[in-house]
Structure formats: C-alpha cells, structure tokens
Structure 1
Amino acid sequence: MNSPYLCPNCKTNKTRFNIIEQHVKSVKLDPQTGSVIQEIDKLSLDPFHIPYKGPEYKVQCGACGLIEEEITFIKRAELQK
C-alpha cells in the first residue's frame, strides 16, 4: 500500500479506497445442510483440500465500488504518469 492508486473503472479516483483484509478459514461442510462440520488448520489440510493462494487483501474504489486486487489499481496509476 505504498504506491499510488487509480481506479481502473472510473479512472478519476486517486484518493478514496477501502482495503478489504481477507482472513482465510478452511472448513469441511455437511453436503446436505451446508453447516460447518470441521474447521481445518492450514497445516493439517488433507490431500484433497487445496490451500488458499490468493491475495491477503483486495481494494475497493470508494467512488464507484469496483473490487479488485491491489496490483490492478497500482498498474492503472502507473499508466497515468
């Protein structure tokens, strides 16, 4: 978050953003009810459960509401220079 942002959608917002922190929780669900049967620690995932590999946070434009990865906003700001 030490780079300038520019919204790639509205192309005007450079100052108002929401940072959305993503906290991953791996779970096993009941297939009939959808209720959580078990919360799984990331160190004890079984071979059929792929660990989350996405970003720690995403960015939302405070003007138009677009939600994307941070790099999208940074690259758009770099193109504007």
Structure 2
Amino acid sequence: MPVPYLCPACGTNRSRFNVIEQVVQSVRKDPRTGEILEVIPPEDPLQHPYRAEKYRVQCGVCGVIEPEERFIQRAIHNRLS
C-alpha cells in the first residue's frame, strides 16, 4: 500500500527520496587479511539473524537517512490540508 513520506529533519520535502533496500549477506572473514572465506546461509544455527529494518530512506533535499517508519510517521502527523 502506498504511503506518504515527510522528511523528519527538514520538514519540507514530501516528494524526493532515495529508498535504500538493505540486503544482508552473512560472511565469515579471515581475521588477519579480512578476506571473505565463506558466505554463511541464513538458516545457519550459529549465525545470529539480522533483525534491523529492511528499508531506510534518504531525503532527496537535505540528505538525512532514517528508518522508513520515521518518514511515514512524520507524514501522518503533518498531513497536507
């Protein structure tokens, strides 16, 4: 369902945004070189699952980056007349 956004920082932008999809890749790295040794599957019981938001939003005017919910809540509290 489409929802309006309003920038929580500048409070003026309602139309220009960058929607950032966070794609998680669990890896095992060599502690000395930093080289990726293995990509860990999401079902691995020894890997703690990623639990943060799936999307973040950047204001196209002021550049602030916040969770999508902050932009939605600001729009709900400051509806257009």
Aligned residue pairs, count: 79
Tell me the percent identity: 49
Higher helix share: 1
**What SS does the corresponding residue of 2:58 show, helix, strand or coil?**
strand
Pair 80,4 (structure 1): closer, same or farther in 2 beyond 3 Å: same
User: Structure 2 unaligned runs (5+)?
Assistant: none
Cα distance in structure 1, aligned partners of 2:44 and 2:8: 39
Structural RMSD (CA) = 1.2
Runs of 4+ in 1 over 2 A off after TM superposition: none
1:28-43 equivalence runs, <5 A: 28-43=28-43
User: Structure 1 unaligned runs (5+)?
Assistant: none
Q: TM-score, normalised by structure 2?
A: 0.89
- Tell me which amino acid in the other structure corresponds to 1:76: R
For each residue in 1:36-70, what CA deviation from the matched residue of structure 2 results, as whole angstroms up to 9, or x when unmatched?
11100001241xx2110112211110001111111
Q: TM-score, normalised by structure 1?
A: 0.89
